[in-house]
Structure 1
Amino acid sequence: MATRNLPDDPRLEHLRKQAKTLLKGVRAGDREALALADEFHSVDTLAEAQLVIARSYGFASWPRIVRHLELVDRYSRSPHRQAVGGPLDTPEQRADEFLRLATLHYDQDDPARQQAARDLLDRFPEIAQSNIYTRVVAGELDGIDYDQAAVEGGPYQWEPLLYLTYSRLDVPNQVEIARRLLENGADPNAGYLWQGMPSPFTALTGVFGRGEGDQPVHKDRVELARLLLDAGADPNDSQTMYNCGPGCPPPWDDVHLEILLEYGLGRGDGGPWHERMTTAHPTPQQLLEDELVFASSNGLLHRVELVLAQGIDPEGRGTRHPVFCGHRAYELAAVQGHTEIAEVLRARGAAPLDEVHEVFAAAMRGETPDVTKELAARAVARNPFLPIRAAEIGRTEAMEPLQRLGFDLNVMGMSAPLHQAASNGHLDTVRKLVELGADPELRDPSYQGNALGWAEYNRKQAVVDYLRGLPQGTGTR
């Protein structure tokens, strides 16, 4: 059965409304409602409509999805929504401000915040002794009440171990404090759900850092990671895998992967978070398959070899992350010219390219394949977003062949090809796209930014200068 993903920060009332709407639609003969009922269960009552809604999200029953939402509510936190710069009139206000400034909150984390935390501590040294949360962040080895090792508190309602692993202050004693917390009942799998998203931000996630904002790693990441894993942290950590893979910009290192594999990544039952989140959380095998797809797409040979050494099927597609449009690792490697990786995958049993992927590969090499209109149309229909990926990796030579095949160079996903080329500093690709009619004023749906805005945000000055120099009205508006 095909299923869909729950929205971020899901609410039970929203699902109840969906069930009521479904029931009304079935009774009214609505085609989409009837198709959903045909796929999952006949609908004559509200209870049956609720069952269909639950199954459409991958849950076996309505009580199961209700239980899931209860867990989401229990573990959901939104540290990024807490503002800094408020009143500092009381010791409690100063302590909370210090913790907010010193820790990652995963929404445009700014290194200046950590300096502000240090400045605040210099100004009010007593902050360090305010509570167990400020003590562990400030590296105060003495005076910690370890009876509170598993107590949630502070501005984010985190356990002390989370404040320590998400702190980015350069202070001593972090490893020793973490050891003592774990010896006194701290949960090595402590974590929270960022704004209700199903992938938990665990203590391990905090240690390894990175992510879409390229957050810094913890200065003691190796020692803390091993300490947590030795204490029972499950290595199948989905958010770490995302933050250190498709969720962060290059360059990538393999420290997290080597350590997690050593401790059993890809094996076991997925740990307590997989048990809590069930179908909303990837299995250990899916985590490794996702990693294989990511590494193959980005030319990371060592990562590919690390994953394949675990016996993973080279044909596995993991969670079919939308970034990769459900493609196989071999397809991504071969199409994007990662020849050595493609050879390794084929040697491990990956199936050859089909005729559509042969078209993709030729275009990415800068060739315009001699194909029928029907095959070209099938290629565009299978992956209309290929120009976005080509622009992202600077394949200037691919742009004209793709356009000749019928691909839209203004195609919009989370961004357009020109946004990706601009944000990654691929000036030649930007020039070629504009020459071929890509619209510099096209705005992305999330941030409403044009190509110039993306280049400015990512400090790609050569691209900024070129785009600013374009005549007004350039593009296909």
Structure 2
Amino acid sequence: MPTRNLPDDPNLDHLRKQAKRLLTAVQAGDPAATALAAEFHPVSTLADAQLVVARSYGFPSWPRIVHHLEQIGRYTRSPHRQQIGGPLDTPEQRADEFLKLATLHYGQDDPARQHAARELLSDVAQSNIYTMVVAGELDAVRRNLSQAREEGGPYRWEPLLYLTYSRLGAPNQVEIARLLLENGADPNAGYLWQGMPSPFTALTGVFGRGEGDQPPHQDRVELARLLLAAGADPNDSQTMYNCGPGCPPPYDDVHLELLLEFGLGRGDGGPWHERLTTAHPTPQQLLEDELVFASSAGLLHRVELVLAQEIDVEGRGTEHPAFCGHRAYEFAAVQGHTEIAELLRARGAAPLDDIHEVYAAAWRGESASVDAALAARAVARNPHLILQAAETGRTEALEPLQRLGFDVNLISGAAPIHRAALNGHLETVQRLVQLGADPDLRDPSYDGDALGWAEHNHQNAVAAYLKELRLRGLRLGTGRR
């Protein structure tokens, strides 16, 4: 098993330098380097050090990790880094601008972009195969089907990807997709967003959602069924993330029902798993991740859908950081999802241990009397539990968790007050402030405070409270901005 993950957008030169530094450190007797060599392979040459680096990232050999990085380089795209609003002097520039405005790129996907795209539509609709599919120009597409699999446009995508990531609301999308597939388009077409090893496929584009809660394609069901029937692999890791732990509620199960119908959890994982090997989850891991997520979120129907497959209820899937290695039953029992917990126990899930009993008491709002050692172990096992409480509006759990030693100002991507504000949990935000949470604390990714997070998601009641809090602070001279 890998001890660490490759960074996003990994670089071969960086890994070569790691190996050289490791060799030097081992020769100098550095304890950490010698321990790494003892775990993976004795080091006396640069080739040995390269093998250790590869194995430490979960690859069996240096050639295998080199091949992996070659695949990353081949499929990496960064559409979110494409500039909008550049010169529009030539037809090519106007066509590219249209495509950038009309499609999701998983950066700042402002809906206003689609309005701007429509202003360019009449000028660029038939510029090339990519604008044709996005604009819904059925007859024009028919005349250009020899280009059905050509990569191009601003993102170097196949036409099918521009169609499935388009949010223009154009007509003829299903029929155009069918024509593309019948003329050689790849149903497993996709790209690696900024080098991350979870492919953004055509299916991913159809279902949308994700951390920015991007909208699905208007024809998501018909397009998804068409892609799956044409051979798209249902073990689609990014779709599972974007429609699961990677997006805010509310949830529906349309994507899961379709993927299960076409074989999610079975097979070899398809072409993307073959390309990315150990960096890409297996079909079974995807199902286990879904069970853990659904149990944590209290999604009974999803749990039932997954349990209908052959699955180990104790499985921890990819052990995604969001789940801190917990089992599905631990989440269900701790968070009071009783019906789910009973289902999992009936399938053989092991009972809670002493730390999870402490969590369960806190989640019920009980300040359990525990010794300092047990409390410290509870915090160390899952310091993010207070983030989960804030995100789900479990106001009653906040003070018991703080008494155990959980930090109300913990930042892991965001702070508890940011998560509560984003989801509109006014009472939770108020209780966090009472417990010492700093409403002016800024997150490292977007440099936003709690008010910014509330306003971003149009949580007006929370925003009004935070504005009043800021005004009171200014009146009292506390220095709040």
User: Which TM-score applies when normalising by structure 2?
Assistant: 0.96
Contact persistence 2:2–2:55 (CA under 8 A): no
In 1, Cα distance between the equivalents of 2:126 and 2:407?
60
In 1, Cα distance between the equivalents of 2:13 and 2:262?
40
Shift of 1:464: 2.2
In 1, Cα distance between the equivalents of 2:374 and 2:93?
65
In 1, Cα distance between the equivalents of 2:369 and 2:419?
28
In 2, Cα distance between the equivalents of 1:104 and 1:244?
15
In 2, Cα distance between the equivalents of 1:311 and 1:468?
51
Amino acid in structure 2 at the alignment position of 1:453: G
In 2, Cα distance between the equivalents of 1:72 and 1:199?
10
Contact persistence 1:23–1:45 (CA under 8 A): yes
Q: Which runs of 5+ in 1 are unaligned?
A: none
Amino acid in structure 1 at the alignment position of 2:216: V
Q: Which runs of 5+ in 2 are unaligned?
A: none
Shift of 1:253: 0.6
Of the three residues 131, 138, 141, the one matched with 1:141 is 138
Q: Deviations over 1:107-150 (max 9, x none)?
A: 1211111111111113x2xx221111111111111133111111
SS in 2 for 1:129: coil
Shift of 1:91: 1.3
Match of 2:318 in 1: 319
Q: Which moved more, 1:415-424 or 1:77-86?
A: 415-424
Match of 1:35 in 2: 35
Contact persistence 1:439–1:475 (CA under 8 A): no
Match of 2:248 in 1: 249
SS in 1 for 2:433: helix
Matched, 1:70 2:43: no
Q: Deviations over 1:259-317 (max 9, x none)?
A: 00000000000000000000010000000100011111001000000001002111110
Cα distance change on mapping 1:446 and 1:214 into 2, 3 Å: same
Shift of 1:406: 2.1
Match of 1:343 in 2: 342
In 2, Cα distance between the equivalents of 1:438 and 1:99?
43
Matched, 1:85 2:92: no
Match of 1:309 in 2: 308
In 2, Cα distance between the equivalents of 1:231 and 1:190?
12
In 1, Cα distance between the equivalents of 2:478 and 2:334?
31
Shift of 1:453: 2.5
Matched, 1:10 2:7: no
Shift of 1:2: 4.3
In 2, Cα distance between the equivalents of 1:392 and 1:217?
23
Aligned residues: 473
Over the aligned positions, Cα root-mean-square deviation in angstroms equals: 1.5
In 2, Cα distance between the equivalents of 1:26 and 1:398?
48
User: Which TM-score applies when normalising by structure 1?
Assistant: 0.96
Amino acid in structure 1 at the alignment position of 2:16: R
Cα distance change on mapping 1:437 and 1:143 into 2, 3 Å: closer
Amino acid in structure 2 at the alignment position of 1:204: L
SS in 2 for 1:33: helix
In 1, Cα distance between the equivalents of 2:91 and 2:353?
66
Amino acid in structure 1 at the alignment position of 2:425: H
Alignment map for 1:319-468 (pairs within 5 Å): 319-468=318-467
In 2, Cα distance between the equivalents of 1:141 and 1:448?
44
Shift of 1:96: 1.0
Cα distance change on mapping 1:355 and 1:168 into 2, 3 Å: same
Amino acid in structure 2 at the alignment position of 1:171: A
SS in 1 for 2:139: coil
Contact persistence 1:437–1:475 (CA under 8 A): no
Shift of 1:412: 2.2
Contact persistence 1:434–1:475 (CA under 8 A): no
> Following superposition, which runs of at least 4 residues in structure 1 exceed 6 angstroms of deviation?
473-476
Cα distance change on mapping 1:29 and 1:183 into 2, 3 Å: same
Percent pairwise identity: 79
